[in-house]
Structure 1
Amino acid sequence: MSHPRWGPDPRPEPIRPAEPDEDPVVRPFMLTGGRTRPRHDGLRIETQLHATVGSLAAPLRFESRRIVELCQAPRSIADLSAALRAPLAVVRVIVADLVTEGYLRIDEPLSDFAPELIERIRDRVRAL
């Protein structure tokens, strides 16, 4: 910026504040307390999760709170990762903590086959 009488303004331009749609940079390990492995084993990216009754009233913070909000309807870990714009590994660790603490439940897919039928099929395939 310059003034017609005195020339260019010697002061540096002010620092612009972050736009509302810009996210502050937070290192992924900060979101998980430095952990890289989930406490609950067997969570796959397609695992469907649903928030338990009363989980919205829990004293959760940041990403954990947002995950519980999103899981009022069943969501996969991949969906949560995309919604949070966070790496899958980070979301898996946070989700595993929420499952362990009872704020989320894993929605098991309904099977059309009885376990006995599946076992018989398995046994016959092995016999081939």
Structure 2
Amino acid sequence: MTAEDEEWFDDADGSLVRPYAMTGGRTRSDTLGLDLITLVVAMHSVTERDVEPEYERIMSACQFPISVVEVAAKVDLPLQVVKVLLSDLINQRLIIFRSPVAPTNEPPSQHVLQAVLDGIRKL
């Protein structure tokens, strides 16, 4: 390496693999509807499967139930990239997920609204 090459390359910058390369150019994981608070957990330990490094990092983070946003923070990858990679792992049945309960279209009861209002007034 020349002195000029050494100035350009910096180990502190981290991986030189771009997010689009990790996902194969995919930007969405439409089929599963993973949300920020969707819980995911690995079905197998990392040592049981031969997977690519990015998948291995995600599976390591998912040894216990964890939200999608927490996985992204632990593996230090963009959220959308993690959602695409998680979708791949879910489709391979290496990870399972549980989406949050969908909100109902029913308005809250008058009793609940009054209790919230009373609580705010006490502040």
Same fold (TM over 0.5): yes
Deviations 1:103-122 (A, max 9, x none): 0001356x8xxxxxx98x94
- Aligned position for 2:32: 41
1:87 aligns with 2:78: yes
1:78 aligns with 2:69: yes
Displaced runs of 4 or more, over 4 A: 11-14
Equivalent residue pairs, number = 105
Larger Rg: 1
The Cα of 1:43 is off from its aligned counterpart by 0.4
State whether residues 56 and 69 of structure 1, in contact with CA within 8 Å, keep that contact through their aligned partners in structure 2. Answer: no
Q: TM-score normalized by structure 1?
A: 0.66
1:103 aligns with 2:94: yes
Give the residue type in structure 1 aligned to 2:70.
D
- Aligned position for 1:8: none
1:58 aligns with 2:58: no
Distance 1:22 1:122, change over 3 A: same
Give the RMSD, CA atoms, in angstroms. Answer: 3.1
Higher helix share: 2
The Cα of 1:26 is off from its aligned counterpart by 1.9
Cα distance in 2 for partners of 1:90, 1:63 equals 10
Quick one: percent identity of the two aligned structures?
29
Give the residue type in structure 2 aligned to 1:62.
P
State whether residues 37 and 99 of structure 2, in contact with CA within 8 Å, keep that contact through their aligned partners in structure 1. Answer: no
Cα distance in 2 for partners of 1:106, 1:12 equals 49
